Each structure stands twice: as C-alpha cells, then as structure tokens.
Amino acid sequence: MEFPVELFINALIAGILLGGFYAAVTVGISISFGILDIVNIAHPAFIILGSYIAYIANQRLGLDPILTSILVLPLFYYLGSLIYQVYYLSFEKRGQEALRGLAFFFGLLFVTEVLLILVFGVDYRYVQAGYIDTTLRFAFFDLPMRMVVPFIISMVLLAGLQWFLSKTFTGRAIMAVAQDQLALSLMAADPIRIKRIAFAISIATAAIAGALLIIIQPVEPSVGREYIGRVFAICVLGGMGSIPGMIIAAMLLGIVESITSTFYGPSWAPAVAFGFLLITLAVRPAGLLGR
C-alpha cells in the first residue's frame, strides 16, 4: 500500500497553522498560570468575549476582526487590571487564592457565558472578510487564508511578547515575580503592581485570540469550553511560563491532532493528542523547556 505523501504534507501544514492559533489562545494562560500561578480558568470566556466584539464591529461597521481586536486591546487590558485587583484584595492578600480564587474564576466563566447567551442567544456567529474564503494552492498543498492569517498574527503577537518579557525592565520584572518576589521588592519594584500588569496583559491577549477564533470558525457562547483542556495542557507541556516552550507544545499538539484527524478521523484527535501529552510529561515532568 502506497503511503499518501501529499495527504501527509497537507495534514502537517494544517497542523502547524492550527498550532499557531493554539499558541495565541494559550499565551494568556501561560502568563497568568505559568508565571503568576493564577489559575484563570475564565480565560476562554474572555476569548469568546473578544470574538463577539469582533463580530459586532464586523456586522455593524464592517471592520476587520483583527483591526477590531487591536482597537479594543486597551479595554481588555484595563478589564484584566480590574479583575486582578478584585482577586488580590479578595483572595490573594488573605492567602485564600487556592480554592476560593479558583471558584472566583469559575464564576467569571459562567457569568460571562450566561450574559452572552442572554444577549446573543445560542446561534453560531461568524464574520466576513475578503481573505476568509480564499485558499492559495502551491503544487499539491493548500494554504487556507482563514488559517494562514491567524497564524501570522499569532507569531507577531508572540514575538512581541517575547521581546517585551526579555528586553524591557517591566518584562524582566514579570519573569522575576514568578521566582522571587522578595528579591524583586529589594530592587524597588512593587510585586503586586507587576503582577497586575502581567495579568492585564494576559487578558489583553484574549482580545486578539478571540478575533482569530471567529476568523477560523463560527462561535457561540459556550465554545470556549472546548479550549479549556487544550490551553492548560499546552501550557504545562511547554513548561510553566516558557513562551518558546509553549509555542513548541502548541505546534506539536496541532500537528498530532491534524495528522490523527486526517488518517483516523476527528473523534480520535483529542484522545491521541492528550495521550501524547501524558507520555511527554512522563519523560519530562517539567515540560519541554521547563520553567
């Protein structure tokens, strides 16, 4: 039996593009959970909120979803800053962030979802843009622009974040707050302020991730639940707080899912992908690049 090389290459390319999207969806969790140790299980809800804002701007004003996400970035940043302030005063400051903090974010997840259902209903919503239905074909492989554009935007976002975290004082302080808050205080930096900035950045990324999501697929209020397991799995697989590790993990998960879906059917994809995660963690418990 001849191996279908063309089919395999197309599945590989689709997996890389899918992995790029997964990386954009996960980077907020990588900052809040991987660096700040805040289990923000509500992050997918903010991504869906970003999708609906992109949908409204697209339907009423004809704006491109990506342009909309850039315009609303400051709003998501201040929303994240406000949520962290409430979380800090109510739970973290009192040393109750473990279980009650988790319940707080569960509450945010369900409240956001219910509000979206009350306003928009449960019908699927989608956006229109000139590139969404376009597919480029080179030789025997296809490049659907609805996947290529999110991949490019995701890589630009991640490159910008990596530069910010490694080259700026605030970025280095964010990485340091995960390791030694006392040492950070001795350097005249306020750990709470640094954590508030980092959490606000993590929520701001949800605006862009939401726009990329609604470009790739129609959304309804509960679709974010499909990504809760994936984003935490990618964060852990890549190594807590490591953005390069998170990108590698997202690519690997996307490739495994795509190849499994192509050759064995979509129903096998989650099982094989999470089996791959468990095997990898058994070999490298700290993730691919560690913390």
Who wins on pLDDT, 284 or 129?
129
Tokens 């005063």: give the residue. 89
Name the phi and psi angles at 131, rounded to 5.
-90, -10
Query: What confidence tier does 179 reach under pLDDT thresholds 50, 70, 90?
Result: confident
End-to-end CA distance of the chain: 44
Alpha-carbon distance of 267 to 237, in angstroms, equals: 22
CATH number of 5-283: 1.10.3470
Global pTM reads 0.90
Distance (Å) of CA 202 to CA 25, 129, 210, 291: 10, 27, 13, 18
- How confident is the model at residue 219, as a pLDDT? 92
* 183-209 pLDDT tens trace: 777 777 788 899 999 999 999 999 999
| Concatenated DSSP letters of 115-155 | HHHHHH-SS-B----TTTT-EEEETTEEEEHHHHHHHHHHH
* 157-171 pLDDT tens trace: 999 999 999 899 888
Half-sphere exposure of 254 (CA within 13 A, CB side): 25
Q: What is the largest CA-CA distance in the chain?
A: 67
73, 13, 97, 55: which is closest to 223 by C-alpha?
Answer: 55
The full set of domain ranges for the chain reads: 5-283
Who wins on pLDDT, 2 or 190?
190
